[in-house]
Amino acid sequence: MATRRDVDVTDLISRARHADPRAVARLISFVESDSPVLREVAAGLVGAAGHAHVLGLTGSPGVGKSTTTNALVSALRARGDRVGVLAVDPSSPFSGGALLGDRIRMAEHTADDGVFIRSMASRGQLGGLSAAVPQALRVLDAAGCDVILVETVGVGQAEVEIASLADTTILVLAPGLGDAIQAAKAGVVEIADVYAVNKADRGGAEQVTRDLRQVQSMTAGRHEGWTAAILKLSAASGEGVAELLAAIDAHRAWLGDSGELAVRQQRRAATEIEAIAVGEVRQRFAHVHGSDALDEAAARVVAGESDPYTAAEALIAAL
């Protein structure tokens, strides 16, 4: 574990801004780890970011998110964009590490110095992923990425939160797996700016597209003024990738023209600050008052001597 003494944050940030991949990796590790260096890194990144377009990719396991990410990276590299990929696994509080075997599919890009690939799990950070992901995005942004893809493992509340960190959110679906109705249940249809129905060469893609249109007609959509594109895709063969990129570019242009980009940036920063502040308060509950105060309150609730709201008020009063 690196200590403050071992790390020259200013030098690391300077090297990251010159796209040194090891500096980028090191900074993201600090951001991820609740290291005491975290605040120094955050302070050092002030003013260094603000250029990259952030794409969120979400969808059920098995729909081909990694293949889609891979295809998008190829298309973005072909036109000269520098690309960051952040694979986020918010789901596993127990296993201690993301099962990112899928990452091997990205192997063709790992040797490309115009691509940064990092994965993050949800452990330990002050404020959780709501705080850690934006910081990691700033690191990749400062390193000169034009586009950053944030890919999540599953579909759920945590994925919805991460998707809300993106400028453009892409929901990947596939026939059979993770169909439109299931996505509607998971609440992710409403947050998507672009739908990509992958494995379009398989039977059923047309049905998923129709279901999506129906769900879309029933829900208000994320924003006034933008109707989410619904595209068919065959990420493995590359068919439809150009159209997907065009839809992303169109959404990016709309974000700028409509003023929505500034609205999202403001909302994201507020969410991030609040997550950090709440995380800090949570740590104070755990550490400053010792686990004893909380444990004793919990024992009283279990014994039927107190209710949890009264116990919580006492905890806050002691803060």
Instruction: State the minimum distance, in angstroms, from the CB of residue 228 to its own copies.
Output: 13
C-beta of 225 vs 308, nearer to its own copies: 308
Instruction: State the minimum distance, in angstroms, from the CB of residue 80 to its own copies.
Output: 26
Instruction: State the minimum distance, in angstroms, from the CB of residue 91 to its own copies.
Output: 5
C-beta of 45 vs 212, nearer to its own copies: 45
Other beta carbons within 10 angstroms of residue 104's beta carbon come to: 9
On whether the CB atoms of residues 135 and 46 are closer than 8 A, the answer is no
C-beta of 122 vs 168, nearer to its own copies: 122
Instruction: State the minimum distance, in angstroms, from the CB of residue 183 to its own copies.
Output: 9
Instruction: State the minimum distance, in angstroms, from the CB of residue 185 to its own copies.
Output: 5
C-beta of 78 vs 299, nearer to its own copies: 299
Q: Calculate the CA 276 to chain-centre distance.
A: 16
d(CA 55, CA 169): 6
Strands in 229-232's sheet, in edge-to-edge order, are 115-121, 83-89, 147-152, 53-58, 168-173, 194-197, 229-232
C-beta of 246 vs 270, nearer to its own copies: 270
C-beta of 29 vs 74, nearer to its own copies: 29
C-beta of 2 vs 269, nearer to its own copies: 269
Exposure string of 37-60, with b = 16+ CB inside 10 Å and e = fewer, is bbebbbebbeebbeebbbbbbbbb
Instruction: State the minimum distance, in angstroms, from the CB of residue 57 to its own copies.
Output: 16
C-beta of 47 vs 80, nearer to its own copies: 47
Instruction: State the minimum distance, in angstroms, from the CB of residue 150 to its own copies.
Output: 16
Instruction: State the minimum distance, in angstroms, from the CB of residue 215 to its own copies.
Output: 10
